[in-house]
Amino acid sequence: MREWDTTTFELSEACVQLKSGLRFSIQQSRHGNWYLVEDDARGTFFRVGPAEYTFLSLLDGKTTIATAMAATCSRMGGSALSEQDTIALCKWLVESGLARTDASTSARRIGEKQKQTAQRRLIQRLNPISVRFPLWNPDKLVTSLTRWVGWAISWPMAIVWIFVCTYALISVLMDWERLTQGGVQVFSRDGILWMGGTWLILKVIHETAHAVACKRLGGRIGDCGILLLLLIPLPFVDVTSAWRFTSKYQRIFVSSAGMLAEIFVAAIAAIIWSHSGPGMIAFCASNVIFAASLHTLLFNANPLMKFDGYHILADWLEIPNLGTHGQRYVTGIVRRIFLGQTVEPLPYAGIHGQIIRVYGVAALLWRVLLCVVLTLAAASLFHGIGLLIALIAGWLWFAVPVYKFGRYIIWGTEFEQPDRKRFAKVTVTGLAMVLLLALLVPAPTVITAPLVIEYADLQVLRNESSGFVQSIEVNKDQLVEQGDLLLVLRNPELETQLTSAQLKLSQARIRGNASRNAADIGQLQIEQEAVLALEEQLAELRAAADALNIRAPARGRIIAADLSGLDGQYIHAGTELLSIGNETRKRATALVAQDDARHLAGVRGKPTQLRVWGHHRIEHAEVTDVDPKGQVELPHFSFAGVHGGPLDVVDARQVGREDVASDNNNLTLVNARVKVVATLDAESSTRLKAGQTGVLQLRSRSRSLGGYLQGEFRRWIGQHWKLNHGI
């Protein structure tokens, strides 16, 4: 018995018959008309153009493909399908289950198709990163729900939505600093669990809004279920029936309904947060705000993923199958470069053709980045099992496509054979160029380290005499000259001692004069010694009294926490009162990671660049000191992560570092770092303010790009996988 094969049939003999039960409806756009094909039995939708629809209308199972193609050409003229496009369309119809041929209904073909379908389902179920489990059809439930909340989809509710969101935005902007500080608590180790639960609730609201909007506009709800993303359960609902809507704005609304609902919930949470003080209510409200924002920006609003943002963009541009066209363009470019095959022209020209090209490249880069990030995230999530999840995902996402492409290069298909010589030449040339670049191109030579700007010669003023603060002559941040009066102290006891010493000195001098007049030499010597002792004591008391007037030892700016709090206070001798910093002499103190410490040899005296946050220009400085020994002391609180800094810190008392001297709330660095000091010139010192933070950039590495990337990858593996999996 003869077995048919769909890839080898004769075009003039083959007949194709459309599946019964297909529905066709015309859709209009500014670029022309296209047709929606609905497979009611499976609940799937497809889009075809006028030429494809004309050809499909002739496929009755009796008309050959050649006859149908000739009839299409006579009707469509120059816009008819080419022979190659016709073959591709017939192949797609059979593979999609929209049509059948004698070959596709043979036992062999049915068996192959069942085997391919089983393999695809197995791969989908084995994918540990993203697994979809359909549960039931909630159409009746959504119908009942729409009767209760359908009023939310109306123009009055749209006005309420705009008002609430605007008011919430203003409230958040007016208290933005408090919200960002609360974000540290939200993204803490304990807060992540709360945020995960909040995210799950928002996803339920999101999918419910999609379903209600679709039902309200006359659509039908398909299956709903659970999507496991990195083992995190997330609900989903099928609203593909929205493709049936003739208005693109209705389709856009259904696609955006979930995001609109999330934003509305986040706006209500923002209003509650702005009117509540610190506590559990504010914490839960900030959880809702951050969860809705991240979910919307990273996933739903992202047009590079086939979520809401993609469908909104495709409908707005009126480019059906935008992702498919972009993928075909990228695939065609790869085939042309590696195999020398001709690229099929895009169905759109002008600006829309450029959009498809840009979208295809951007979507590919995003897909690769997302696969890598999710795989690495899975490897770092769980002890042991995370590595297994990453290996399975890597095999499904990377190894399987590479294997299929390699099999195609080696054996080809019955339909076409690749140009293996061209592929070998291009591949060898590309690998050689990559190898040369890795060996010859230098690695990024810039060592970066967090920094803080400090005064180079900070004068710390302490009172030499105890006393009460009588007057404060300066203010915080005031510029003073050398010798200017800063504070005046008063010590009544010292004044009494000074008066008493002056009286005793006068009496001793009188007794001395009396002894001289009486020619009592012995008594005169005693009185003279007493006068000398009293004069020395009086000089010390006068010096102590003069020290009650605290003056500036040098020109600079007053640095103090709260001078007004000193007024009337009794200050013991040696107490730190304030500091004076010279605005023309500042330095940058940076903490370099231990991995980069070996590159610091010989950097003393070399120039370096400073990127200071909030400062528009790059400043230059000179490295004046390098402490070769790593330190865990925290030189400035701005480095600490708990204060918004870039470095991880820990309480010294919790890790047995009580002996480490630190003036920053007993905080020490988790990982030791090398201290590097760079001195700024007078002009740069004047422009920068003490306490500003930024990044120090020092060029001192000498290494190839390949070795650098290899070392960084091994370092990442050592830090993360050894910690999580013991490898």
Mean pLDDT by groups of 10 residues along the chain of 727 residues: 41 72 74 72 72 81 80 77 76 75 54 57 57 81 86 88 91 76 53 71 88 88 77 78 82 89 89 81 80 73 84 84 83 84 72 88 85 69 60 68 79 70 87 84 78 87 85 84 86 86 84 80 81 85 85 84 78 84 89 81 85 85 87 84 79 62 66 89 88 85 71 66 51
Domains and CATH numbers, the chain: 15-122 (3.90.930), 127-302 (no CATH), 319-443+703-727 (no CATH), 459-580 (no CATH), 587-701 (no CATH)
Query: Do 463 and 574 touch, CB atoms closer than 8 A?
Result: yes
Q: For residue 617, report the phi and psi dihedrals to the nearest 5 degrees.
A: -120, 160
Give me the helix-helix angle, 176-186 and 280-295, nearest 10°. 90
Task: Please give the torsion angle defined by the CA atoms of residues 276, 277, 281 and 282, in that order, rounded to the nearest 10 degrees.
Answer: 90
Three-state DSSP at 681 gives: coil
Q: What pLDDT sits at residue 163?
A: 93
Q: Backbone dihedral region of 478: left (phi > 0), alpha (psi from -120 to 50 degrees) or beta?
A: beta
Q: How far is CA 217 from CA 158, 210, 239, in A?
A: 16, 11, 11
Q: Where are the alpha helices (DSSP H) in 518-611?
A: 521-546
Q: Where are the alpha helices (DSSP H) in 241-395?
A: 248-274, 280-295, 308-317, 322-339, 350-381, 385-394
Alpha-carbon distance of 390 to 332, in angstroms, equals 30
Both tokens of 29, joined, read 């756009």
Alpha-carbon distance of 660 to 629, in angstroms, equals 14
Q: Backbone dihedral region of 302: left (phi > 0), alpha (psi from -120 to 50 degrees) or beta?
A: beta
Both tokens of 680, joined, read 């700024």
Both tokens of 272, joined, read 């509650």
Three-state DSSP at 609 gives: strand
Where are the extended beta strands (E) located within 91-165?
99-100, 130-136
Residue with tokens 């608590």: 185
Q: For residue 575, report the phi and psi dihedrals to the nearest 5 degrees.
A: -75, 135
Q: For residue 693, report the phi and psi dihedrals to the nearest 5 degrees.
A: -115, 165
Q: Where are the alpha helices (DSSP H) in 12-64?
A: 50-56
Q: Which residues contact 249 (CB under 8 A, 6 or more apart)?
A: none
Q: What pLDDT sits at residue 725?
A: 47
Q: Backbone dihedral region of 653: left (phi > 0), alpha (psi from -120 to 50 degrees) or beta?
A: alpha
Neighbours of 281 (CB within 10 A): 14
Q: Which amino acid is at 397?
A: W
Residue with tokens 């004068």: 459
Query: Do 689 and 610 touch, CB atoms closer than 8 A?
Result: no
Neighbours of 277 (CB within 10 A): 6
CB-count burial class (<10 Å; 0-12, 13-18, 19+) for 37: buried
Helix (H) or strand (E) holding 610: strand 607-612
Q: What pLDDT sits at residue 5?
A: 41
C-alpha closest to that of 449 among 272, 317, 630? 630
